[in-house]
Amino acid sequence: MSAKIYRPAKTAMQSGRGNTRHWQLEFDPEMPRKIDPMMGYTSSGDMKQQINLRFDSLDEAVAYAKKHGIAYRVVEPKVAKRRKMAYADNFRYDRRQPWTH
């Protein structure tokens, strides 16, 4: 039994950072999923895939995994590199990229 501890990224449908300040522990699948030949549904007998635990900090998530003997891996969040730019920079005469219509 192994798990992944990560901080979820914001969804593409929102511009805020809601639900991204906590850490999650998700169990890795222990058996592959099966496709039902008649209906085409995807099913699995692994019930731990449905468990998703939330923690306020990375230390709490790691402590939980160690306490319960769960092998874990930590996936660090990627930091977005944002360039500060003003609206007036679009109209500068020395733009880096040429103005196109």
pLDDT of 89 > 60? The answer is yes
Q: Report the mean per-residue pLDDT for the chain.
A: 87
Which pLDDT tens digit goes with each residue over 27-71? 998 888 889 888 889 888 888 888 999 999 999 999 999 999 999
pLDDT of residue 101: 57
Identify the bridge partners of residue 75 per DSSP, sorted by sequence position.
6
8 A C-beta contact, residue 4 and residue 71: no
SS3 67: helix
Domain ranges of the chain: 2-8+21-78
Residue 73 burial (CB < 10 Å; 0-12/13-18/19+)? exposed
In whole angstroms, what is the distance from residue 28 CA to residue 91 CA?
50
* Domain spanning 2-8+21-78, CATH architecture: 2-Layer Sandwich (3.30)
